[in-house]
Amino acid sequence: GAVVSQHPSWVICKSGTSVKIECRSLDFQATTMFWYRQFPKQSLMLMATSNEGSKATYEQGVEKDKFLINHASLTLSTLTVTSAHPEDSSFYICSARDPRGGHNQPQHFGDGTRLSIL
């Protein structure tokens, strides 16, 4: 079945560092990928929709200069948290929908990245 791989799983770094998270669709091509943020024991908050070959669509309240998204190929989207600070510490999850089979296919999720900023 469709698989989404996310890397790295854990990141611990100092305040002010920029961190890049990769999301890959392993056996399908994804023109659209989604980036979510999840706080402990809470639901997923959609941050942005990543569109292959064009600019990402950010949700209201999400700083596009803070969370840079690049979707340069049909199998890879990256999220870069620029100049990260402790308040950016969170669990970040990506997802993609396999377009094969039509519009009723579920989104498939990566395993998430736990980001801790010291």
Partner 1 sequence: AQSVAQPEDQVNVAEGNPLTVKCTYSVSGNPYLFWYVQYPNRGLQFLLKYITGDNLVKGSYGFEAEFNKSQTSFHLKKPSALVSDSALYFCAVRDPIGGNNRLAFGKGNQVVVIP
- Per CB under 8 A, 60 contacts partner 1: no
Under 8 Å between Cβ of 72 and 56: no
Min dist CB 7 to partner 1, Å, is 12
In the complex with partner 1, the residue whose CB is nearer, 87 or 104, is 104
Under 8 Å between Cβ of 12 and 88: no
3-class DSSP state for residue 86? helix
Min dist CB 83 to partner 1, Å, is 25
- 111: tokens are 């395993």
- Per CB under 8 A, 91 contacts partner 1: yes
Nearest to 116 by CA among 7, 13, 9: 13
Question: What is the contact surface with partner 1 in residues (CB under 8 A)?
Answer: 4, 6, 9, 32, 34, 41-44, 46, 49, 91, 93, 95, 97, 103-104, 106-112, 114
